[in-house]
């Protein structure tokens, strides 16, 4: 009998060795490089400062727009939904963290049992006495209280890798919410500038209508004097009616844009205040692109993709650990008695036990292999998603910088065209009054002047939106002024990028 413990330990050690040798995780395939090489600088852009470190209160210098953004960040329902998803992800990470520690349960029991006399237990009870002359009660009661201990020892870091993966997923959901904040800030600013553009177009159409109605009266007088035909009157009337109808279309667009802004702000439709002089580039901070490498630090979607990639790598390691044997330790300690009359802490009532189980996959490993292959494929997909996100971020910045530059140059030319056509309107009217120009020249000049002024307003709107989108593409819009001041102080000072 003395050799039994040694034999048992030998068998146990041999079993562990056999399981560990037979349960080897397969190797993963080649994984592409996670970080694609970014260009050192943006084409045609100098300087290392980046506008994205500015808080949105510093970037948007319009107090009305800043108020709308602050209201939206407080009331927007989509952000509230994302915040709850972040909370759920955090709870999951805490649950995974708890799996590393032993589970201890405390419970009690009470019951009664009567075994058949024609069974082994019944025969034993029939011939067993507690004390001389005293037999076991029938039925036999049982009372007890015990603490159970159960623990999976994390030998191969399976549980810790799962915990770390959920932590990375939690951090990724936080970055996802930050990315939604940048979208919301940008969408509110773009809608606000669209509203200002519609206001400017309404004003242009109203001024042109006043001018055309006066011209129409003049044409009618000239028709009465026989200087023009009915055709001239009808064409001028048609032009006036066309522009009047466009006024109603613009007013409807104003209503819809206001309602969209209110919906983004999380409130019911109401008039939206406009700041005087807000339709101007001076109300936005100048764009400074900095270095492309800053995108990896400042863009929330890039950080989100990076964290998802780290989580995928940890999940592959956790899936690989399932091929190795698992060690589970369980124990119980408590008190148990068939009578409540005995002293509760008597040594006769003490019950305890402990076991250690080592279990590993040996024959049916197809499910574990499938899970490992799936995790490996997800890791490779996460690499490509990260590369795609970085490439998209870089392309977005280039597009918006180019748009700012080209639209700015086009705006200058369009301004000169609109100014020239504005002067030609009065000239054509004077020539028509002196019978040196046809009425069609007056009509076409007014139409071209109107279109040029409207296009000028639309170009200004495009300039403002391109600046806002460049700010978003660089990763701006996630911090307030106070929070951004510390980040900005750590950024090296240098020349600004060209707008």
- CATH assignment of the domain containing 256: 1.20.1600.10
Write a three-state SS string for 328-356. Answer: EEEEEEEEEECCCCCCCCCHHHEEEEEEE
Position 221 in a domain: no
Question: How many structural domains compose the chain?
Answer: 1
Position 133 in a domain: no
Position 109 in a domain: no
For residue 359, give the 3-state DSSP assignment: strand
d(CA 202, CA 246): 9
Structure tokens at 294: 């800053």
Model pLDDT, residue 443: 74
Contact 380, 38 (CB under 8 A): no
- pLDDT, one tens digit per residue, over 261-294 is 999 999 999 999 998 888 888 889 999 998 898 8
Taking alpha carbons only, the member of 173, 200, 162 closest to residue 459 is 200
Contact 234, 165 (CB under 8 A): no
d(CA 440, CA 425): 12
Residues found in the chain: 499
| Helix, strand, coil in percent for the chain, rounding step 5 | 65, 10, 25
Position 169 in a domain: yes
Position 350 in a domain: no
Calculate mean pLDDT across residues 158-169: 89
Taking alpha carbons only, the member of 68, 186, 46 closest to residue 470 is 186
What lies within 8 Å, CB to CB, of 320 at 6+ separation is 25, 26, 372
Model pLDDT, residue 1: 39
Write a three-state SS string for 263-332. Answer: HHCCCCCCCCCCCCCCCCHHHECCCCECCHHHHHHHCHHHHHHHHHHHHHHHHHHHHHHCCCCEEEEEEE
Across all residues in the chain, what is the average pLDDT? 82
Question: DSSP for 185-221?
Answer: HHHHHHHHHHHHHHHHHHHHHHHHHHHHHHHHHHHHH
Q: What is the largest CA-CA distance in the chain?
A: 143
Instruction: Band the pLDDT of 487: cuts 50, 70, 90.
Output: very low
Question: DSSP for 57-111?
Answer: HHHB--HHHHHHHHHHHHH-HHHHHHHHHHHHHHHHHHHHHHTTSPEEEEEEEEE
Query: What residues make up the domain containing 181?
Result: 3-99+154-196+246-325+360-489
Position 335 in a domain: no
- pTM for the full model? 0.80
Query: Could you give the count of Cα atoms lying within 13 Å of 94 in the half-sphere of its Cβ?
Result: 6
For the chain, counts of helices (H) and of strands (E): 12, 6
- pLDDT, one tens digit per residue, over 394-405 is 999 999 999 999
- pLDDT, one tens digit per residue, over 106-130 is 888 788 777 777 777 777 666 666 6
Model pLDDT, residue 483: 40
Q: Is 154 left (phi over 0), alpha (psi -120 to 50) or beta?
A: beta
* Listed range (205-214, 297-306, 341-350, 420-429) with the worst mean pLDDT: 341-350
For 131, 133, 254, 331, the CA distances from 349, given in Å and listed in that order, are 16, 22, 83, 17
pLDDT above 80: residue 341: no
Position 184 in a domain: yes
d(CA 203, CA 225): 34
Position 21 in a domain: yes
Contact 404, 467 (CB under 8 A): yes
d(CA 169, CA 166): 5
Model pLDDT, residue 132: 66
Structure tokens at 313: 């790598």
């Amino acid at each position: 009998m003395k050799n039994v413990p040694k034999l048992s330990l030998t068998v146990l050690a041999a079993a562990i060795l056999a399981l560990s040798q037979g349960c080897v995780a397969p190797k993963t395939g080649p994984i592409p490089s996670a970080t694609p090489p970014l260009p050192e600088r943006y084409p045609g852009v100098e300087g290392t400062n980046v506008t994205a470190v500015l808080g949105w209160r510093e970037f948007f210098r319009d107090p009305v727009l800043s108020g709308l953004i602050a209201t939206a960040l407080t009331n927007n329902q989509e952000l509230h939904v994302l915040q709850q998803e972040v909370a759920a992800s955090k709870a999951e990470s805490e649950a995974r963290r708890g799996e590393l520690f032993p589970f201890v349960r405390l419970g009690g029991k009470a019951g009664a049992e009567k075994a058949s006399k024609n069974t082994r237990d019944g025969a034993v009870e029939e011939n067993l006495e507690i004390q001389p002359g005293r037999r076991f009660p029938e039925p036999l009661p049982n009372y007890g209280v015990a603490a159970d201990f159960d623990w999976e020892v994390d030998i191969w870091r399976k549980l810790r890798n799962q915990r770390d993966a959920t932590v990375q997923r939690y951090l990724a959901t936080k970055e996802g919410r930050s990315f939604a904040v940048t979208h919301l800030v940008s969408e509110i600013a773009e809608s606000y500038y669209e509203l200002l553009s519609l206001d400017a177009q309404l004003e242009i159409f109203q001024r042109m209508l006043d001018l055309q109605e006066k011209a129409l009266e003049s044409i009618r007088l000239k028709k009465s004097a026989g200087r023009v035909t009915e055709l001239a009157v009808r064409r001028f009337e048609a032009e006036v009616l066309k522009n009047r109808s466009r006024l109603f279309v613009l007013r409807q667009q104003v209503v819809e844009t206001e309602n969209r802004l209110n919906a983004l702000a999380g409130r019911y439709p109401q008039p939206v205040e406009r700041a005087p002089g807000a339709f101007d580039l001076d109300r936005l901070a100048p764009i400074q692109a900095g270095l492309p490498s800053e995108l990896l630090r400042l863009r929330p979607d890039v950080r989100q993709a990076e964290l998802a990639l780290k989580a995928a790598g940890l999940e592959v390691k956790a899936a690989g650990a399932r091929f190795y044997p698992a060690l589970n330790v369980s124990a119980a300690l408590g008190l148990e008695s068939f009578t409540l009359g005995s002293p509760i802490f008597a040594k006769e009532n003490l019950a305890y036990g402990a076991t250690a189980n080592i279990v590993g996959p040996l024959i049916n490993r197809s499910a574990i292999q499938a899970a490992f292959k799936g995790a490996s494929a997800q890791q490779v997909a996460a690499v490509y998603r990260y590369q795609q996100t970085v490439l998209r971020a870089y392309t977005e910045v280039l597009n918006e910088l180019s748009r700012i530059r080209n639209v700015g140059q086009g705006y200058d030319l369009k301004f000169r065209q609109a100014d020239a056509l504005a002067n030609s309107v009065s000239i054509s009217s004077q020539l028509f009054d002196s019978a040196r120009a046809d009425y069609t020249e007056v009509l076409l000049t007014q139409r071209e002047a109107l279109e040029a002024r409207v296009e000028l307003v639309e170009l200004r709107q495009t300039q403002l939106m391109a600046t806002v989108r460049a700010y978003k593409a660089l990763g701006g819009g996630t911090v307030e002024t106070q929070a951004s001041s510390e980040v900005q102080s750590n950024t090296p000072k240098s020349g600004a990028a060209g707008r």
